[in-house]
């Protein structure tokens, strides 16, 4: 098996290199390991476009570098343990790719590393979905459609084909024992926005839920479908506020996961996915938003890797 070097994966306090398998699960389709590189760029808290790119994170460059080294080590360990397609391990691997990508965006302003690692996150999730035997009872709490956060990674990048593949492999029915109907419908409607074709039954359910609950998520989707720019901006603002409040509440009530806190809690991937979908459907979204750097809202076609999942 070929091996690829991963920078910064020699341990928490090491800047060394460690050999890493370049494939994925032995005996299955190869899954590329996107290298944890060390591109140079602006210092901490500097987005593409400077001050005009939105609110900046509050994590120091030293902390981000330390976080990236540790995440690289964890990535190596997870790849070494993937002799079998364990759903929980694949989801953890997907999360690691996402955090590494965001870490490079924050520490080095490296949009290519960001895109490649989020693409790997989404591909890993697609691999997870495709390893489930038809009709087999998998871990429903892990496989429910509303747990498909990596779908947001693909949508954030504008990787439409990959997002469609994930959508096709996700559960088509609501699992009421493990997820809320609103969350299920939201993750079903998001990929439908790519082509602007919503199932009539889903459209009726959206209208009913909006009348009953009116969550910011569903209002944002509805605004895109209606091409209502003002309603979209209002919904996105509320959704961003809710996201930040949830993060602050978690910090106050439970032990902080530093890897999440230094990466995913600094960049609103879901918001970026919604903005990209809104622009795709013809809405004139703003150039900058809090916690969404302008650089990841630009056309990333040239830096997206090719899918190996088929």
* Residue 199 vs residues 87, 113, 166, 180: alpha-carbon distances, Å: 29, 36, 17, 19
Burial of 228 (0-12, 13-18, 19+ CB in 10 A): middle
pLDDT in tens, 257-296: 999 999 999 999 999 999 999 999 999 999 889 999 999 9
Residue 309 inside a domain? The answer is no
Question: What is residue 76's predicted lDDT score, i.e. its pLDDT?
Answer: 87
On whether the CB atoms of residues 306 and 162 are closer than 8 A, the answer is no
pLDDT above 90 (res 41): no
Residue 48 inside a domain? The answer is yes
Residue 291 inside a domain? The answer is yes
pTM: 0.81
Residue 307 inside a domain? The answer is no
Residue 114 inside a domain? The answer is yes
Structure tokens at 228: 């209502």
pLDDT in tens, 119-170: 999 999 999 999 886 655 668 889 999 999 999 999 999 999 999 999 999 9
- Residue 7, SS3 per DSSP: strand
CA distance 22 to 31: 7
Tell me the residue range of the domain where 192 lies.
3-302
Question: What is residue 213's predicted lDDT score, i.e. its pLDDT?
Answer: 79
pLDDT above 60 (res 52): no
Residue 283 inside a domain? The answer is yes
Residue 310 inside a domain? The answer is no
Average pLDDT over residues 209-221: 94
CA distance 4 to 133: 31
pLDDT above 80 (res 219): yes
Structure tokens at 254: 């439970």
Residue 115 inside a domain? The answer is yes
Question: What is residue 5's predicted lDDT score, i.e. its pLDDT?
Answer: 36
Structure tokens at 178: 């493990």
pLDDT above 50 (res 231): yes
* Nearest by Cα to 115 from 284, 310, 272: 272
* Nearest by Cα to 269 from 225, 232, 245, 239: 239
Task: Classify the phi-psi angles of 214: left when phi > 0, otherwise alpha if psi is within -120 to 50, otherwise beta.
Answer: left
Q: How many domains does the chain divide into?
A: 1
**b vs e for 136-175, b when ≥16 Cβ sit within 10 Å of the residue's Cβ?**
eeeeeeebbbbbbbbbbbbbbbbbbebbebbbebbbeebb
* Nearest by Cα to 109 from 294, 252, 244, 248: 294
Average pLDDT over residues 102-108: 97
């Amino acid at each position: 098996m070929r091996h690829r070097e991963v920078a910064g994966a020699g341990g928490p306090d090491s800047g060394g290199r460690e050999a890493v398998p370049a494939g994925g699960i032995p005996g299955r389709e190869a899954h590329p390991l996107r290298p944890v590189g060390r591109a140079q760029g602006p210092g901490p808290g500097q987005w593409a476009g400077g001050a005009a790119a939105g609110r900046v994170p509050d994590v120091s460059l030293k902390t981000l570098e330390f976080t990236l080294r540790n995440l690289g080590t964890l990535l190596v360990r997870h790849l070494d343990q993937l002799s079998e397609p364990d759903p929980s391990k694949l989801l953890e691997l997907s999360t690691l790719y996402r955090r590494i990508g965001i870490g490079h965006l924050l520490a080095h302003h490296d949009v290519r590393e960001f895109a490649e690692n989020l693409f790997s996150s989404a591909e890993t999730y697609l691999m997870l979905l495709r390893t489930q035997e038809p009709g087999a009872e998998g871990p429903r709490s892990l496989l429910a459609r509303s747990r498909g956060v990596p779908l947001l990674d693909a949508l954030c990048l504008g990787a439409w084909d990959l997002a469609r593949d994930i959508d096709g492999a996700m559960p088509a029915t609501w699992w009421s024992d493990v997820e809320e109907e609103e969350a299920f419908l939201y993750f079903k409607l998001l990929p439908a926005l790519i082509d602007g074709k919503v199932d009539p039954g889903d459209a009726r359910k959206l209208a009913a839920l909006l009348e009953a609950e009116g969550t910011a998520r569903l209002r944002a989707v509805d605004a895109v479908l209606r091409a209502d720019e003002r309603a979209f901006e209002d919904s996105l603002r509320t959704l961003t506020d809710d996201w930040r409040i949830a993060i602050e509440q978690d910090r106050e009530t439970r032990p902080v996961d530093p890897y999440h806190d230094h990466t995913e809690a600094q960049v609103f991937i879901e918001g970026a996915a919604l903005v990209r979908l809104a622009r795709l459907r013809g809405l004139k979204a703003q150039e900058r938003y809090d916690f969404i750097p302008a650089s990841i809202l630009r056309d990333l076609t040239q830096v997206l890797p090719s899918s190996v999942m088929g």
